[in-house]
Amino acid sequence: MDDKVTIDEAKSIAQGMEKTLAGFVPAEQVASIDQNPSGALMSCSREGDYLWSGQTKVLLNSGAVYDGAAVTEKIAEQYDGRDHYTTETGLTPDSQPSAHVIGSDGEGYLVALSVDKTFVQILSFSPCFVLPEDVSPSRPY
């Protein structure tokens, strides 16, 4: 954990990466990119540290043929072993290609096609940070 990361910085890091990962979906397939403005705070240690968790949906154009294997391969090529990231690729329970980008400071990002195949879901988990005393972890942030 980086003691210097604030809750706002952690959220900004995660949302920035969500947008970057959304950019791997070919533009001609994208109807819209919808980023949730708020997320949930989740404990990431026994010492009271938290992470910010959010989501972005890349809505696909009707009739678009999403190539999940190509997208996850490009993500892995870009991030695996670069900077402080590693990438794991695999399949979701419904056999869709997925990518998990993991940062050395605890952050993580999951990218996969939704079960109904209408959008690419990007889930984010920010670096851990010390939760300010005036912020309740039970409220959206």
For the cut 90, the answer to whether the pLDDT of residue 97 exceeds it is yes
CA dihedral sign of residues 127, 132, 135, 138: positive
3-state SS assignment for residue 8: helix
Q: Quick one: residue 106, left, alpha or beta (phi over 0 = left, psi -120 to 50 = alpha)?
A: left
Q: What is the pLDDT of residue 76?
A: 97
For the cut 70, the answer to whether the pLDDT of residue 48 exceeds it is yes
CA distance 67 to 12: 28
What is the rounded average pLDDT of the residues 89-111? Answer: 95
For the cut 70, the answer to whether the pLDDT of residue 1 exceeds it is no
For residue 62, the one-letter residue type is S
